[in-house]
Structure 1
Amino acid sequence: MTQSPASPLPPPKERRRLRESTSLTQAQVAAKIGVTSETVRAWESGRSTPRGHKRETYAKFLASVEAEGPAPAAKAAATATATPVRSRRSVGRWDSAPLDQGQERGGGWVRAAEAAAGESPGPAASPDDATEAFDRLYAYAAPGLVRQAYLLTGRRTLARESVERAFQLAWERWPEVAVDRDPAGWVRAAAYEYAMSPWHRLRPSHRHPEAPPADADDRALLDVLLSLPSSYRRTLLLYDGVGLDLPETAAETEATTPAAAQRLLHAREAVAEQLPALAVPDQLHRRLTELAGAEKLQAPKSTLVRTEGERRTRFWTRSAIAFTVLIVGATAFTVRMAPARYEPVPAPGAVISGVPPRTGPGPLTQADKKLRDKLHKSAMSGPHRLAPEVD
């Protein structure tokens, strides 16, 4: 039996452009096709390709959008069921403002990066636009990230350092971060990875624990969190603290959704076993929020983060150039000093010219013979020759 050819699909960037031209969110497109918003996100980023019936439905939807234009599709968007990407717990919690997938594009960092990457036909973005966009993202995400990193590590200095390094990395890769669907999530993942790196335990400053929270209940909760495995702690913080959905939590922790669910259940059981009052998820979320807000942790200014990141980049760039020059110089010196032709090893017993002859016993010369005869005649044999003589 011959299978029918698969319906053609536009490239991933064209799929996203068609959806955004109709003011549809990924959740609305997912509701029309019958999949999740994460699946639509993967289709638009090129990480996966639809197959079977879903491919046919998705291809027809894109073709209708392209044929009808943005106006009819915008009317359909009004009747579509809009599913929020973030759960209700993520709004107004640790972040200063929600940053959903359905947020209107065209923000400062998005425009600057798209213009730099050549994805937008508008005017090119100036460095001032990129700086302003970065400062907006920093002011939005940095305060909450510092508190979250503190719950992950239990160390105030490491929490601030993790956020600083994450934003330095984001500034180095700004064109990539700015066009990301969730720039704050990109920075959060980088901060979590740095904060939970096992290499920190080798630092001298980490040999002694920092001062615990002043409140006894806060100390107990922080001790329970730090006793959890790092993967369980991160999953619990993302789901019950930040308020991400389970698929988003699984994607950020690089785990499958069932694995993330099991980690979350085991983490909740461990917390409820030592703190029975926090067996209810809402109570646990409230206590995590209170514990995070109890510490007055201030993130460094965005200007300091940008300048320090640029200084670090210049340092490593110059170090790489110096190391390359050193390697090139050593190679040139070796080539210059190496022999220009091959000199074979002489065979055993062959005569080698230019080498002085070996020294050893040989025939006496006439002068040596006279000296020998003189010594034989004048010297007396026997031990008495050593006795002193009286004058």
Structure 2
Amino acid sequence: MTRRPAPPLPPPKARRRLRETAALTQTQLASRVGVTPGTVRAWESGRTTPRGRKREAYAKLLKTLADEETARQTTRTPRPEEDSAPETAPETAPAPSTPSKPTAKPQPEPVPEARPAPVALTPAQAFDALYEFGAPALVRQTYLLTGRREQAREAVERAFQTAWEHWPEVARDRDPVGWVRATAYEYALSPWQRLRPRHRHPEPPPADPGDRTLLNTLLRLPPRHRRTLVLYDGVGLDLPETAAETEASTPTAANRLLRAREAVAGRLPALADPQVLHRRLAELASNERLGAARPHAVRGDGERRARFWTRAAIAFTAALIGTTALTVRTAPTHYEPPVSPGQAVRGVPPRVAQGSLSDEELELRHKLRDQLQHGPERLSPRLE
């Protein structure tokens, strides 16, 4: 039995544009598809991809929105008239033939040299090209978010390792550098980074006092505001792309950007102009010597980490199966009542049930009756 192919979906940016063109909020679209607004936000940012029935419902809704947009454009734009057929030149009578000088034999036109077809890159070569192109800039951008050189370098390397694990998806993405950038920013701004031992030891600040003040101002911003400021004024993304990468709506991203600019301008009035702020962020990132590892080393580390976790998962599964089998093998199949603890019996044991006495019991009874017992006499009731 073959599975039905999944319906195609437009790119993440086109999904967001169709929703905004139809004047729908993420909450309204989520209610129509049957998911949460956070899921729609992840679909529009490209972080996740819908599957199964949710994908079919989402694709059907987007197709409906696209058809409505096409219908609106058709009704607003007048239909262009068909181009008239080109006028044909009037036929003329052939000129009389006159003797002329013999013409030279036409030379054959030179055949253009065939250009070699472009050679398709292997996945490893494509990954290395992407890494060499985007890694240096991503390390500098991540340094603006964290203020730590080693953490920025590690975040970018981990992001590229994740991209190598999901390479078919990243290779088909319209903006693979943006895919890696979003992953690196998520790793760098993770709250778990504060629990690492090296986070307790601060790194040396920049040598220039102006760079040091600007970096401290950036680090005082909330992580979301800092990320929005770096993406918009540092990287140069537009507002919808910044909102999609930060998984926020466009008004929310604009509000975060304005507040971040106000905070920076409050401490550094000279950076109130966005152009000056963009230039200073670029200078701050460029003044630091932030190198990146070689692409083959990053791929090798990612593959070793993937193998380690795969083997750890296999070992854990095998241990769990073995423990379960041992428990089933040794567990009792019926209830066994617990044995009462023993106790010492002194003197004549009480009779547990009626019956004839044994010889020893008869002999002991006669002995007790015949011998005089010391102590007060036994009183017996009588009538007066």
Give the shorter-chain TM-score range: 0.5 to 0.7
Number of aligned pairs?
270
Unaligned runs of 5+ in 2: 1-5, 27-42, 50-54, 75-117, 350-359, 365-384
Task: Give the corresponding residue for 1:343.
Answer: 335
User: 2:254 matched to 1:258?
Assistant: no
Distance 1:189 1:263 in 2: 18
Distance 1:136 1:289 in 2: 23
Q: Deviation of residue 12 (structure 1)?
A: 3.0
Distance 2:299 2:22 in 1: 40
Q: Deviation of residue 356 (structure 1)?
A: 10
Given candidates 361, 365, 384, the residue that maps to 2:346 is 361
Question: One-letter code of the match for 2:153?
Answer: R
Task: Give the corresponding residue for 2:138.
Answer: 145
2:22–2:65 CA contact under 8 A, matched in 1: no
Pairs within 5 Å for 1:114-125 = none
Cα 1:357/1:201, change in 2 over 3 Å: closer
Unaligned runs of 5+ in 1: 1-9, 17-25, 63-106, 112-127, 347-351, 370-391
Task: Give the corresponding residue for 1:12.
Answer: 8
Task: Look up the SS of the partner of 1:297 in the other structure.
Answer: coil
Distance 2:322 2:64 in 1: 60
Question: One-letter code of the match for 2:67?
Answer: R
Cα 1:60/1:247, change in 2 over 3 Å: closer
User: 2:283 matched to 1:275?
Assistant: no
Distance 1:252 1:358 in 2: 77
Q: Deviation of residue 55 (structure 1)?
A: 2.1
User: 2:194 matched to 1:201?
Assistant: yes
Q: Deviation of residue 357 (structure 1)?
A: 7.0
CA displacement 1:228-255 (0-9 Å, x = unmatched)? 0000000000000000000000000000
Question: One-letter code of the match for 1:149?
Answer: T
Task: Give the corresponding residue for 2:81.
Answer: none
Task: Give the corresponding residue for 2:67.
Answer: 55
Distance 1:329 1:336 in 2: 10
Q: Deviation of residue 59 (structure 1)?
A: 7.3
Distance 1:164 1:59 in 2: 47
Pairs within 5 Å for 1:229-244 = 229-244=222-237
Q: Deviation of residue 362 (structure 1)?
A: 2.9
Pairs within 5 Å for 1:1-391 = 11-12=7-8, 49-50=61-62, 55-58=67-70, 129-340=122-333, 342-343=334-335, 345=337, 358-362=343-347
Cα 1:181/1:59, change in 2 over 3 Å: farther
Distance 1:269 1:242 in 2: 19
Cα 1:312/1:270, change in 2 over 3 Å: same
CA displacement 1:41-98 (0-9 Å, x = unmatched)? 96x9875634878524437999xxxxxxxxxxxxxxxxxxxxxxxxxxxxxxxxxxxx
Cα 1:336/1:51, change in 2 over 3 Å: closer
Cα 1:277/1:198, change in 2 over 3 Å: same
Task: Give the corresponding residue for 1:125.
Answer: none
Q: Deviation of residue 202 (structure 1)?
A: 1.0
Distance 2:289 2:122 in 1: 31
CA displacement 1:156-196 (0-9 Å, x = unmatched)? 00000000100010111111111112111000000000000
Cα 1:338/1:310, change in 2 over 3 Å: same
Cα 1:11/1:357, change in 2 over 3 Å: closer
Distance 2:22 2:332 in 1: 71
> What's the % identity of the aligned pairs?
58
Q: Which has the larger radius of gyration?
A: 2
Distance 2:174 2:217 in 1: 34
Q: Deviation of residue 305 (structure 1)?
A: 0.5
Distance 1:201 1:357 in 2: 60
Q: Deviation of residue 363 (structure 1)?
A: 5.1
Distance 1:357 1:257 in 2: 80
CA displacement 1:329-356 (0-9 Å, x = unmatched)? 111111111123x23548xxxxx8xx99
Cα 1:344/1:208, change in 2 over 3 Å: closer
Distance 1:356 1:278 in 2: 85
Task: Look up the SS of the partner of 2:344 in the other structure.
Answer: coil
Of Structure 1 and Structure 2, the greater helix share is in: 1
After TM superposition, the score normalised by the length of structure 1 is 0.62
Distance 2:220 2:262 in 1: 13
Q: Considering only aligned residues, what root-mean-square deviation do their CA atoms show, in Å?
A: 3.6
2:234–2:278 CA contact under 8 A, matched in 1: yes
Instruction: Give the ranges of 4+ consecutive aligned residues of structure 1 lying more than 4 Å apart after TM superposition.
Output: 44-48, 50-54, 59-62, 355-358
Distance 1:280 1:360 in 2: 100
Q: Deviation of residue 270 (structure 1)?
A: 0.6
Q: Deviation of residue 359 (structure 1)?
A: 2.9
2:161–2:299 CA contact under 8 A, matched in 1: yes
Task: Look up the SS of the partner of 1:175 in the other structure.
Answer: helix
After TM superposition, the score normalised by the length of structure 2 is 0.63
CA displacement 1:247-273 (0-9 Å, x = unmatched)? 000000000000000000000011111
